[in-house]
Amino acid sequence: MGAALIQEGRPITFASKSMTETESRYANIERELLAVVFALERFHTYVYGKHVTIFSDHKPLENIQYKNLAKAPPRLQRLLLRMQPYNTTVVHKPVKDMNFADYLSRVNPTP
């Protein structure tokens, strides 16, 4: 999974990590939300206490933050709870416009 922190169109920092074998078997919405939580926690010093707009190519993420926690599956509940300290808005952005983070999530590290 990959993330890019961008301010006014300029990259500030990047982060990426491989998913564990277990994480790679998560449902698509869970993997996408896991990536958002990863980014928020990795960039905590930059984003905590500020409004953050999260751009994602996964359309269902736009509404997941408004989902009733009691009706969400347990794994989604845990991920949504980890997002609660942050002031976020999720906006859908087509994959063709997702340059930085999409590249980070697809690149294979070389030894």
Instruction: Determine the Cα–Cα distance for residues 40 and 60; give it in Å rounded to an integer.
Output: 18
Share the mean pLDDT of the chain. 87
pLDDT for position 106: 57
Domain that holds residue 90: 2-106
pLDDT for position 89: 94
- Residue 111 belongs to a domain: no
**pTM of the predicted structure, to 2 decimals:** 0.83
- Residue 85 belongs to a domain: yes
Structure tokens at 37: 């939580």
- Residue 57 belongs to a domain: yes
- Residue 44 belongs to a domain: yes
pLDDT for position 52: 95
Mean pLDDT, residues 80-84:
94
- Residue 25 belongs to a domain: yes
- Residue 100 belongs to a domain: yes
At 14, which CATH number? 3.30.420.10
CA angle at residue 91 from 88 to 92, to 5 degrees? 150
Q: 91 pLDDT band (50/70/90 cuts)?
A: very high
